[in-house]
Amino acid sequence: MNILLIAGGWSSEREVSLSGGKGIHKALEALGHKVTLHDPVRSLDGLPGAVRGKDFAFINLHGSPGEDGLVQAMLEQLGCPYQGAGPAASMLALNKAAAKALFMGAGLNTAPYILLNARPDKGWQPEMAYPLFIKSNTGGSSLHMEKVERPEDLDGALDRLFAVNAAFLLESAVNGREITCGVLGRLENGAEVPEALPTILIKPATGKVFDYTSKYTPGGAEELCPAPVPDTLNKKIQAMALAAHQALGITGYSRSDFMAPENGDPVLLEVNTLPGMTPTSLIPQEAAAVGLSYEQLVQRLVDLGLARHKKRRHDY
């Protein structure tokens, strides 16, 4: 097939997107596909022309555009199939506050939070126990995130963060083990059936937070797959990841992040619709644990995207 690989973009996660794109590019060529890279560096003006003559688009954009559903909506309008979540599910998952509202509606355990659409007045304090996390409501890769240990540190953190972004989520910190779990579809008689992948236990080298540095610095974190946790906890997290995937209406694949306290139920943090796709990223590790090579994972995502496009055309 003639495939358009869309990677890069203009978000703060541009370099992560390009890094993952290299692995996808290599895998697609190894599978026998012809690949053309399209990098929407400043705008999406060139996308309609880039799509022309292509059989499929593989999206590897983090943040906006891509995770917000904009590129997916354009591709659907242009009649080009692509992998992963559709426009609505992408937008809902990227907006942490919207996603958490749907999680709670589905009975999924998630941390208490406050959405800050504007910088509160100086001296403002939330009715929440410290420590707290402040994270971008629509960002990823743990960029623009701070952990606030004490009330007297809140104003400084808000000043720094609101200088670079528009809306933030204030969330209660949850102590415990950080565990992630992917969901990957498989085709059964032409229909997509989502299945939870093995979990991964994440142990940041700093022993503190799995932040941007831990995620993308070699040796920044130890990632144990399958997670060495009790089977009951493992199954509970897999069930929650699958339920979160379905609550947002995601297709193809996703990755859900959790905190697992020593006592109590796992807490769902967020869901990623375009998770990292370098050969050593979390979803490829989980796929490898069930016998799927990186190339087979990439082809599975292409096949699922083609099936979804065919069904969508049939439904309309």
What residues are annotated to the active site?
Answer: 13, 141, 216, 255, 257, 270, 272, 276
* Neighbouring C-beta atoms of residue 117, cutoff 10 Å: 9
Q: What angle do CA 230, 236, 242 make, to 5 degrees?
A: 135
Burial 173-182 (b: 16+ CB within 10 A, else e): bbeebbbbbb
SS3 28: helix
- Tell me the C-alpha distance between 20 and 297, whole Å: 14
**Nearby residues of 207 by Cβ (< 8 Å), 6 or more positions away:** none
User: What's the maximum distance between 2 C-alpha atoms anywhere in the chain?
Assistant: 60
Of 45, 34, 35, 95, nearest in space to 71 by CA: 45
